[in-house]
Amino acid sequence: MRRLLITGAAGGLGRMARQRLVHLAPTLRLSDIIPMGMPAENEEIVTCDLSDAAAVNELVKGCDGIVHLGGISTEQSFSVVLDANIVGLRNLYEAARHNGMPRIFFASSNHVVGFYRQDEQVDIDSAVRPDGLYGVSKCFGEALARFYHDKLGQETAIVRIGSCFESPTDYRMLATWLSYDDFVSLVERVFAVPKLGCPTIWGVSANSRAWWSNEHVSHLGWHPKDSADPYETAIRNAGNWPAPDHPLVTLQGGNNTQDSLSDD
Ligand code: NAI
Protein backbone atom coordinates (compact mmCIF):
# COMPACT_ATOMS: atom_id res chain seq x y z
CA MET A 1 0.00 0.00 0.00
CA ARG A 2 1.13 3.55 -0.74
CA ARG A 3 -1.44 5.34 1.37
CA LEU A 4 -3.46 3.91 4.26
CA LEU A 5 -6.42 5.87 5.60
CA ILE A 6 -7.21 5.65 9.31
CA THR A 7 -10.55 7.17 10.28
CA GLY A 8 -11.26 8.01 13.91
CA ALA A 9 -7.56 8.80 14.27
CA ALA A 10 -8.10 10.96 17.35
CA GLY A 11 -9.94 8.20 19.22
CA GLY A 12 -8.61 5.56 21.58
CA LEU A 13 -7.85 2.97 18.93
CA GLY A 14 -7.03 5.58 16.29
CA ARG A 15 -4.25 7.12 18.36
CA MET A 16 -2.76 3.67 18.92
CA ALA A 17 -3.15 2.73 15.24
CA ARG A 18 -1.43 5.96 14.21
CA GLN A 19 1.65 4.87 16.14
CA ARG A 20 1.49 1.15 15.45
CA LEU A 21 0.51 0.89 11.74
CA VAL A 22 3.28 3.11 10.39
CA HIS A 23 4.97 0.13 8.73
CA LEU A 24 1.96 -0.69 6.54
CA ALA A 25 2.29 2.24 4.13
CA PRO A 26 4.72 5.12 3.50
CA THR A 27 1.85 7.57 3.96
CA LEU A 28 -0.84 7.48 6.64
CA ARG A 29 -3.85 9.67 6.01
CA LEU A 30 -5.50 10.41 9.34
CA SER A 31 -9.01 11.74 9.74
CA ASP A 32 -11.40 12.68 12.51
CA ILE A 33 -13.76 15.52 13.42
CA ILE A 34 -11.71 16.52 16.44
CA PRO A 35 -8.11 17.77 16.50
CA MET A 36 -5.39 15.26 15.68
CA GLY A 37 -2.32 17.40 16.39
CA MET A 38 0.45 18.17 13.93
CA PRO A 39 1.24 15.70 11.11
CA ALA A 40 4.52 13.80 11.19
CA GLU A 41 6.50 13.54 7.93
CA ASN A 42 4.68 10.36 6.87
CA GLU A 43 1.21 11.72 7.74
CA GLU A 44 -1.59 13.65 6.10
CA ILE A 45 -4.21 15.10 8.45
CA VAL A 46 -7.73 15.63 7.14
CA THR A 47 -10.53 16.91 9.35
CA CYS A 48 -13.67 15.31 7.99
CA ASP A 49 -17.17 14.61 9.24
CA LEU A 50 -18.17 11.14 8.06
CA SER A 51 -21.71 12.38 7.46
CA ASP A 52 -20.46 14.75 4.71
CA ALA A 53 -20.53 12.62 1.55
CA ALA A 54 -18.46 14.96 -0.63
CA ALA A 55 -15.81 15.35 2.05
CA VAL A 56 -15.59 11.58 2.56
CA ASN A 57 -15.20 11.08 -1.18
CA GLU A 58 -12.21 13.46 -1.16
CA LEU A 59 -10.87 11.74 1.95
CA VAL A 60 -10.80 8.30 0.34
CA LYS A 61 -9.32 9.49 -2.96
CA GLY A 62 -5.81 8.12 -3.44
CA CYS A 63 -5.98 5.59 -0.57
CA ASP A 64 -5.17 1.88 -1.08
CA GLY A 65 -6.55 0.69 2.21
CA ILE A 66 -8.85 1.93 4.97
CA VAL A 67 -8.86 1.15 8.69
CA HIS A 68 -12.27 2.46 9.61
CA LEU A 69 -12.35 3.33 13.31
CA GLY A 70 -14.31 6.58 13.10
CA GLY A 71 -17.82 7.00 14.44
CA ILE A 72 -19.81 6.71 17.62
CA SER A 73 -18.40 4.01 19.86
CA THR A 74 -20.90 4.05 22.73
CA GLU A 75 -24.66 4.04 23.19
CA GLN A 76 -26.04 7.45 22.13
CA SER A 77 -29.26 8.97 20.82
CA PHE A 78 -30.45 7.71 17.45
CA SER A 79 -29.77 11.01 15.66
CA VAL A 80 -26.12 10.95 16.73
CA VAL A 81 -25.64 7.29 15.85
CA LEU A 82 -27.46 7.81 12.55
CA ASP A 83 -25.14 10.53 11.26
CA ALA A 84 -21.84 8.93 12.18
CA ASN A 85 -22.42 5.20 11.93
CA ILE A 86 -25.17 4.80 9.35
CA VAL A 87 -24.99 7.79 6.98
CA GLY A 88 -21.25 7.95 7.61
CA LEU A 89 -20.69 4.32 6.75
CA ARG A 90 -22.74 4.54 3.59
CA ASN A 91 -20.63 7.57 2.61
CA LEU A 92 -17.46 5.60 3.19
CA TYR A 93 -18.58 2.69 1.01
CA GLU A 94 -19.76 5.04 -1.75
CA ALA A 95 -16.41 6.81 -1.61
CA ALA A 96 -14.65 3.45 -1.85
CA ARG A 97 -16.81 2.49 -4.82
CA HIS A 98 -15.80 5.66 -6.67
CA ASN A 99 -12.13 5.43 -5.76
CA GLY A 100 -10.87 1.99 -6.73
CA MET A 101 -12.45 -0.04 -3.93
CA PRO A 102 -9.59 -0.01 -1.40
CA ARG A 103 -9.75 -2.88 1.08
CA ILE A 104 -11.53 -1.93 4.31
CA PHE A 105 -10.98 -3.02 7.92
CA PHE A 106 -14.35 -2.23 9.49
CA ALA A 107 -14.44 -1.88 13.27
CA SER A 108 -17.71 -3.58 14.10
CA SER A 109 -18.49 -4.62 17.65
CA ASN A 110 -19.37 -7.54 19.89
CA HIS A 111 -22.46 -5.48 20.74
CA VAL A 112 -24.14 -6.87 17.59
CA VAL A 113 -24.70 -10.02 19.68
CA GLY A 114 -24.98 -8.45 23.13
CA PHE A 115 -28.29 -9.99 24.11
CA TYR A 116 -27.00 -13.56 23.87
CA ARG A 117 -26.23 -15.14 27.19
CA GLN A 118 -22.60 -15.81 27.91
CA ASP A 119 -23.26 -19.55 28.12
CA GLU A 120 -24.75 -19.63 24.60
CA GLN A 121 -22.60 -20.68 21.68
CA VAL A 122 -22.57 -17.79 19.22
CA ASP A 123 -20.88 -18.00 15.86
CA ILE A 124 -20.80 -15.71 12.85
CA ASP A 125 -23.93 -17.37 11.41
CA SER A 126 -25.96 -16.74 14.56
CA ALA A 127 -28.70 -14.15 14.16
CA VAL A 128 -27.65 -10.73 15.39
CA ARG A 129 -29.05 -9.66 18.78
CA PRO A 130 -27.78 -6.08 19.24
CA ASP A 131 -27.93 -4.64 22.74
CA GLY A 132 -28.57 -0.99 21.80
CA LEU A 133 -28.81 1.49 18.94
CA TYR A 134 -25.03 1.49 18.75
CA GLY A 135 -25.13 -2.27 18.20
CA VAL A 136 -27.91 -1.84 15.66
CA SER A 137 -25.74 0.62 13.73
CA LYS A 138 -22.93 -1.93 13.63
CA CYS A 139 -25.41 -4.54 12.29
CA PHE A 140 -26.19 -2.04 9.54
CA GLY A 141 -22.49 -1.63 8.88
CA GLU A 142 -21.96 -5.37 8.63
CA ALA A 143 -24.91 -5.71 6.24
CA LEU A 144 -23.67 -2.80 4.14
CA ALA A 145 -20.18 -4.29 3.92
CA ARG A 146 -21.59 -7.64 2.81
CA PHE A 147 -23.89 -5.97 0.28
CA TYR A 148 -21.00 -4.03 -1.33
CA HIS A 149 -19.03 -7.25 -1.45
CA ASP A 150 -21.80 -9.33 -3.02
CA LYS A 151 -22.80 -6.58 -5.42
CA LEU A 152 -19.41 -5.14 -6.39
CA GLY A 153 -16.65 -7.28 -4.93
CA GLN A 154 -15.60 -4.67 -2.36
CA GLU A 155 -13.40 -6.44 0.19
CA THR A 156 -13.95 -5.83 3.90
CA ALA A 157 -12.81 -7.47 7.09
CA ILE A 158 -15.78 -7.14 9.43
CA VAL A 159 -14.09 -7.20 12.82
CA ARG A 160 -16.36 -7.63 15.84
CA ILE A 161 -14.01 -6.07 18.33
CA GLY A 162 -14.41 -7.24 21.92
CA SER A 163 -12.66 -4.76 24.23
CA CYS A 164 -9.48 -3.31 22.78
CA PHE A 165 -7.54 -1.54 25.49
CA GLU A 166 -4.03 -1.52 26.90
CA SER A 167 -5.04 -4.18 29.43
CA PRO A 168 -8.24 -5.85 30.67
CA THR A 169 -9.66 -4.04 33.68
CA ASP A 170 -12.88 -5.84 34.62
CA TYR A 171 -14.52 -9.24 34.76
CA ARG A 172 -16.09 -9.07 31.30
CA MET A 173 -12.84 -8.12 29.63
CA LEU A 174 -11.33 -11.42 30.79
CA ALA A 175 -13.46 -12.85 27.96
CA THR A 176 -13.57 -9.96 25.49
CA TRP A 177 -10.12 -8.37 25.65
CA LEU A 178 -8.20 -7.71 22.44
CA SER A 179 -4.64 -6.56 23.08
CA TYR A 180 -3.08 -3.79 21.04
CA ASP A 181 -0.45 -6.20 19.69
CA ASP A 182 -3.16 -8.63 18.54
CA PHE A 183 -5.12 -5.77 16.98
CA VAL A 184 -2.02 -4.77 15.01
CA SER A 185 -1.28 -8.32 13.86
CA LEU A 186 -4.90 -8.68 12.71
CA VAL A 187 -4.72 -5.48 10.66
CA GLU A 188 -1.44 -6.76 9.17
CA ARG A 189 -3.07 -10.04 8.10
CA VAL A 190 -6.15 -8.30 6.70
CA PHE A 191 -4.00 -6.23 4.36
CA ALA A 192 -1.46 -8.98 3.59
CA VAL A 193 -3.67 -11.83 2.41
CA PRO A 194 -3.95 -11.95 -1.39
CA LYS A 195 -7.70 -12.56 -1.28
CA LEU A 196 -9.77 -11.33 1.63
CA GLY A 197 -13.42 -11.45 0.58
CA CYS A 198 -15.73 -10.28 3.36
CA PRO A 199 -15.10 -12.39 6.46
CA THR A 200 -16.52 -11.71 9.89
CA ILE A 201 -13.78 -11.98 12.48
CA TRP A 202 -14.03 -11.88 16.27
CA GLY A 203 -11.57 -9.27 17.47
CA VAL A 204 -10.46 -11.06 20.60
CA SER A 205 -7.16 -12.24 22.06
CA ALA A 206 -6.45 -15.83 23.12
CA ASN A 207 -8.38 -15.53 26.40
CA SER A 208 -9.44 -18.86 27.85
CA ARG A 209 -12.73 -17.25 28.96
CA ALA A 210 -13.51 -16.03 25.39
CA TRP A 211 -16.96 -16.94 24.03
CA TRP A 212 -16.13 -16.86 20.32
CA SER A 213 -14.03 -18.90 17.90
CA ASN A 214 -12.16 -17.77 14.79
CA GLU A 215 -11.70 -21.25 13.35
CA HIS A 216 -13.68 -20.23 10.26
CA VAL A 217 -11.00 -17.67 9.36
CA SER A 218 -7.92 -19.74 10.15
CA HIS A 219 -6.88 -19.27 6.50
CA LEU A 220 -6.10 -15.63 7.29
CA GLY A 221 -3.16 -16.83 9.38
CA TRP A 222 -3.97 -14.57 12.33
CA HIS A 223 -2.72 -16.00 15.61
CA PRO A 224 -3.47 -13.82 18.64
CA LYS A 225 -0.55 -14.06 21.09
CA ASP A 226 -1.95 -12.36 24.16
CA SER A 227 -4.39 -13.52 26.80
CA ALA A 228 -6.38 -11.79 29.53
CA ASP A 229 -5.84 -14.79 31.82
CA PRO A 230 -2.83 -13.41 33.74
CA TYR A 231 -4.91 -10.37 34.75
CA GLU A 232 -7.61 -12.40 36.48
CA THR A 233 -6.10 -12.34 39.96
CA ALA A 234 -5.56 -8.59 39.90
CA ILE A 235 -9.14 -8.01 38.76
CA ARG A 236 -10.48 -10.28 41.51
CA ASN A 237 -8.32 -8.58 44.12
CA ALA A 238 -9.45 -5.13 42.98
CA GLY A 239 -12.97 -6.04 44.04
CA ASN A 240 -14.25 -5.88 40.48
CA TRP A 241 -15.91 -9.29 40.61
CA PRO A 242 -19.67 -9.01 39.85
CA ALA A 243 -22.43 -11.15 41.39
CA PRO A 244 -23.47 -14.27 39.39
CA ASP A 245 -26.77 -12.69 38.31
CA HIS A 246 -25.20 -9.41 37.15
CA PRO A 247 -25.47 -8.68 33.40
CA LEU A 248 -21.67 -8.54 33.29
CA VAL A 249 -21.77 -12.27 34.10
CA THR A 250 -24.94 -13.33 32.31
CA LEU A 251 -25.10 -11.43 29.01
CA GLN A 252 -22.45 -11.03 26.31
CA GLY A 253 -23.16 -7.30 26.01
CA GLY A 254 -22.71 -6.79 29.76
CA ASN A 255 -23.72 -3.37 31.03
CA ASN A 256 -24.73 -2.14 27.55
CA THR A 257 -27.83 -4.30 27.81
CA GLN A 258 -28.95 -2.07 30.73
CA ASP A 259 -28.56 1.31 28.98
CA SER A 260 -31.75 3.36 28.85
CA LEU A 261 -33.24 3.96 25.42
CA SER A 262 -33.21 7.62 24.38
CA ASP A 263 -36.29 9.25 22.86
CA ASP A 264 -34.59 11.23 20.07
P1 NAI B 1 -13.45 6.38 20.10
O2 NAI B 1 -14.79 6.90 20.44
O3 NAI B 1 -12.34 6.62 21.06
O4 NAI B 1 -13.00 6.96 18.68
C5 NAI B 1 -13.88 7.18 17.63
C6 NAI B 1 -13.47 8.44 16.90
O7 NAI B 1 -14.41 8.69 15.85
C8 NAI B 1 -13.44 9.69 17.80
O9 NAI B 1 -12.16 10.28 17.80
C10 NAI B 1 -14.49 10.59 17.20
O11 NAI B 1 -14.16 11.97 17.23
C12 NAI B 1 -14.61 10.08 15.77
N13 NAI B 1 -15.91 10.40 15.21
C14 NAI B 1 -17.13 10.33 15.82
N15 NAI B 1 -18.09 10.77 15.00
C16 NAI B 1 -17.49 11.12 13.84
C17 NAI B 1 -17.95 11.66 12.63
N18 NAI B 1 -19.25 11.94 12.42
N19 NAI B 1 -17.06 11.89 11.65
C20 NAI B 1 -15.75 11.63 11.84
N21 NAI B 1 -15.24 11.12 12.97
C22 NAI B 1 -16.10 10.87 13.97
O23 NAI B 1 -13.61 4.82 19.82
P24 NAI B 1 -12.49 3.70 19.84
O25 NAI B 1 -12.52 3.01 21.16
O26 NAI B 1 -11.22 4.22 19.33
O27 NAI B 1 -13.10 2.66 18.79
C28 NAI B 1 -12.82 2.75 17.41
C29 NAI B 1 -13.85 1.93 16.65
O30 NAI B 1 -13.83 0.59 17.11
C31 NAI B 1 -15.28 2.43 16.83
O32 NAI B 1 -15.97 2.28 15.60
C33 NAI B 1 -15.86 1.48 17.86
O34 NAI B 1 -17.27 1.36 17.70
C35 NAI B 1 -15.13 0.18 17.52
N36 NAI B 1 -15.01 -0.65 18.69
C37 NAI B 1 -14.12 -0.36 19.67
C38 NAI B 1 -14.01 -1.16 20.78
C39 NAI B 1 -12.97 -0.92 21.82
O40 NAI B 1 -12.82 -1.74 22.70
N41 NAI B 1 -12.21 0.19 21.75
C42 NAI B 1 -14.90 -2.32 20.99
C43 NAI B 1 -15.81 -2.56 19.88
C44 NAI B 1 -15.84 -1.75 18.79
* CATH at 143: 3.40.50.720
Region of 221 please: left (phi>0), alpha (psi -120 to 50) or beta: left
Let me know if residue 68 belongs to a domain: yes
Give residue 14 CA to ligand 1 midpoint distance, Å: 8
- Asked whether residue 126 is domain-assigned, the answer is yes
> Does residue 167 lie within any of the structural domains?
yes
Sign for the CA dihedral angle at 241, 246, 247, 252 comes to positive
Give the residue among 228, 249, 257, 258 at the shortest CA–CA distance from 164.
228
If you measure from the C-alpha of residue 171 to the centroid of ligand 1, how many angstroms do you get, rounded to a whole number? 23
Our answer on whether the CB atom of 17 is closer than 6 Å to any ligand 1 atom is no
> Can you tell me the distance from the alpha carbon of 134 to that of 72, in angstroms, rounded to the nearest whole number?
7
Average pLDDT over residues 121-134: 96
Residue 150 lies in a domain: yes
Confirm whether 264 is domain-assigned: no
Q: Per-residue pLDDT tens for 49-63? A: 999 999 999 999 999
Q: Is 263 inside a domain boundary?
A: no
Look at residue 109 and tell me if it is in a domain. Answer: yes
Q: Is the pLDDT of residue 167 over 90?
A: yes
CA 207 to centroid of chain Cα atoms: 18
Measured from the Cα of 108, ligand 1's closest atom is 44
Q: Could you confirm whether 134 is annotated as catalytic?
A: yes
**pLDDT tens by residue, 224-251:** 999 999 999 999 999 879 999 999 999 9
127: pLDDT strictly greater than 90: yes
Give the confidence band of 262 by pLDDT, cuts at 50, 70, 90: confident
Spacing, Cα 245 to ligand 1 middle (Å)? 30
Task: Give the range of the structural domain holding residue 133, as residue numbers without chain letter.
Answer: 3-258
Give start and end residues of each alpha helix (H) in the chain.
12-20, 53-60, 78-81, 88-98, 133-152, 173-176, 180-192, 232-237, 247-250
Residue 19 in any domain: the answer is yes
Rounded distance from Cα 70 to ligand 1 centre (Å): 5
**Average pLDDT of the chain to the nearest whole number:** 97
Q: Are 105 and 66 in contact (CB under 8 A)?
A: yes
The angle, 0 to 180 degrees and rounded to 10, between the axes of the packed helices 88-98 and 133-152 is 20
For the chain, what is the domain count?
A: 1
User: Which neighbouring-strand residues pair with 68?
Assistant: 7, 106
Residue pair 142/158 in contact (Cβ under 8 Å)? The answer is: yes
Atom in ligand 1 nearest the alpha carbon of residue 178: 40
Of 116, 134, 171, 180, which one is the catalytic site residue?
134
Predicted confidence band of residue 47 (pLDDT cuts 50, 70, 90): very high
By mean pLDDT, which of 9-23, 92-106, 134-148, 238-252 is the weakest? 238-252
Q: How confident is the model at residue 261 (pLDDT cuts 50, 70, 90)?
A: confident
- Is residue 152 a contact partner of residue 97, using CB atoms and an 8 Å limit? yes
Percent of the chain with pLDDT over 70: 100
Number of C-beta neighbours around residue 119 at 10 A: 9
Q: How far apart are CA 198 and CA 149, in angstroms?
A: 7
Please indicate whether residue 9, judged by its CB atom, sits closer than 6 Å to ligand 1. no
Would the CB of 8 count as within 6 Å of ligand 1?
yes
> What is d(CA 66, CA 75) in angstroms, rounded to the nearest whole number?
24
> Cβ-count burial of 163 within 10 angstroms (0-12 exposed, 13-18 middle, 19+ buried)?
buried
